[in-house]
Amino acid sequence: MPEPARAAARSITLEVLRYRPEIEAAPVWQSYVVPFSEDLSVLQALQHVKDELDGSLSFRWSCRMAICGSCGMMIDGRPRLACQTFLRELLPGPVRLEALAHWPIQRDLVIDASGFIAGLERIKPYLIPRQPRPLAAGEYRQSPHELELFEPYSACINCLLCYAACPQFGLDPGFTGPGLLALLHRYNADSRDGGRAQRMAAVNAEHGVWSCTAVGYCSEVCPKAVDPAHAVNQNKVNSAIDYLRHLLAPRGAPP
């Protein structure tokens, strides 16, 4: 935007998709004019609306530092974190704000993420020791290479932007999805873990990795560069290896 026009932009309009189930049968658009400044984020603009214009507006936020993942929403049609998106990037406006795509809306910009929470239980996102290990045995040791195999996937903040970007999840809400599969891979790739066989049930399931259609938009929108698409592809390889092992194993051999 040219500097004169930028300097003149002392306010900007937010168009928010509102949904209050006790009032509306379906979501409706509502506009708010908020003050503009170069360092104002979308989250701060929403807080201005909440504090000064309309206290009934509902949205989630916590850390304001792109760590908690709470403030994910559709911003001009793209899944983004409101705290990490600045109004100067969206001039001249209006800025259209909606709840994350592909999730049920509880109220305004707040989604119902209970399906994701249930999925966390299925993938067992914690280290499962191969065998009991006393504390006296000391810490597990890892080489730099072993750390590199899983460390990128540890950056996930469960913001669910990848799900809003995933067309397959939009078509099939039962799909395990990029976020959970990336988190699952974080533990399967950890040399300290022994729970791979337990997690592969979720990988190989009907709604597991083979539901992915390899669009890759999930990795484009990730605010932490986790690359869930790469994790899904690696799990497709692991799933294929499991299938071949089962196919070629002698009859009666343990899986």
Looking at residue 245, its pLDDT comes to 83
**How is 82-149 classified by DSSP, letter by letter?**
GGG-BGGGGTT-PEEEEPPTTS-EEETTEE--HHHHHHHHHH--S---SS---GGG------HHHHHH
Which pLDDT value is given to residue 1? Answer: 54
pLDDT over 80 at 24, yes or no: yes
Residue 6 — very low, low, confident or very high, per pLDDT cuts 50/70/90? low
pLDDT of 41: 98
Q: Is 70 exceeded by the pLDDT of residue 254?
A: no
What predicted TM-score, i.e. pTM, was given to this entire model? 0.89
Residues 100-138 have pLDDT tens digits of 999 999 999 999 999 999 999 999 999 999 888 888 988
Domains delineated in the chain: 3-111 (3.10.20.30), 114-248 (1.10.1060.10)
Tokens of 252: 């009666």
Cα–Cα distance for residue pair 13/127, rounded to 1 Å:
47
Average predicted confidence (pLDDT) for the chain: 93
Least confident of 170-184, 212-226, 233-247: 233-247
Structural contact between residues 108 and 20, judged by C-beta atoms closer than 8 angstroms: yes
pLDDT digits (tens, 9 = 90+) for 41-65: 999 999 999 999 999 999 999 999 9
Q: Is pLDDT at 37 greater than 80 in this prediction? A: yes
